[in-house]
Copies of this chain bind each other. A is one copy, B any other.
Amino acid sequence: MRRVGMLTSGGDCQALNAAMRGVVKCLFYSGEQVEIYGFYDGYRGLIYGNYTMLTSRDFSGILTKGGTILGTSRTPFKTIKDPDPNGLDKVEAMKANYKRLNLDCLVILGGNGTHKTANLLREEGLNIITLPKTIDNDLYGTDMTFGFQSAVDVATNAIDLIHTTASSHGRIFIVEIMGHKVGWLALNAGMAGGADIILIPEIPYDINSVIGAIQKREERGSKFTILAVAEGACSKEFAAMSKKEQKEAIKNSRYPSVSYDIADKIIAATGIETRVTVPGHMQRGGSPCPYDRVFASRLGSEAGNLILQGEYGFMVGIKNREIVRVPLEEVAGRLKSIDPDASIIKEARMLGISFGDE
Q: Is A186 an interface residue (CB 8 A)?
A: no
A282-B158 contact, Cβ under 8 Å, with A164-B67, A291-B149: yes
Q: Is A252 an interface residue (CB 8 A)?
A: no
Q: Which chain B residues border A168 with CB–CB below 8 Å?
A: 8, 12, 16, 67-68, 71-72
Q: Which residues of B contact A8 (CB under 8 A)?
A: 168
The proximity string for A residues 279-302 relative to B, scoring 1 for CB distances below 8 Å and 0 otherwise, is 111111110011101100110111
Cβ of A152: which chain B residues have Cβ within 8 Å of it? 290-291
* A26 interface residue per 8 A CB criterion: yes
Residues of chain B lying within 8 A (CB to CB) of residue A162: 281-282, 285
Do A286 and B161 form a contact, CB below 8 Å, given A194-B63, A320-B320, A351-B297? yes
A5 to chain B, nearest CB (A): 19
**A132-161 interface bits toward B, Cβ cutoff 8 Å, 1 = contact, 0 = none:** 000000000001000001001110111011
A169 near B73 with CB under 8 A, answer: yes
* Residue of A170, A275, A297 with most chain B CB atoms under a 10 A cut-off: A297
Q: Tell whether, in the assembled complex, residue A25 and residue B72 are in contact, meaning their CB atoms are under 8 Å apart.
A: no
Residue count of chain A within 8 Å CB distance of chain B: 82
Given the known interface contacts A277-B279, A320-B320, A321-B143, the answer about A284 and B164 at a Cβ–Cβ threshold of 8 Å is: yes
Count of identical protomers in the assembly? 4
The residues in A between 204 and 228 inclusive whose CB is less than 8 angstroms from any CB of B are 223
Flag whether A191 is at the interface (Cβ < 8 A). yes
Neighbour of A191 across the interface among B158, B161, B191, B293, CB < 8 A: B293
In angstroms, Cα B68 to Cα A281, docked, is 30
Closest 8 CB pairs of A and B: A161-B285, A192-B290, A66-B164, A12-B168, A164-B285, A67-B168, A67-B164, A156-B290
A residues apposed to B, CB below 8 Å: 8, 11-12, 14, 16, 22, 25-26, 28-30, 41, 61, 63-64, 66-68, 71-73, 143, 149, 152-154, 156-158, 160-165, 167-170, 173, 188-189, 191-194, 223, 256, 275, 277-286, 289-291, 293-294, 297-298, 300-302, 304-305, 320-323, 343-344, 347-348, 350-352
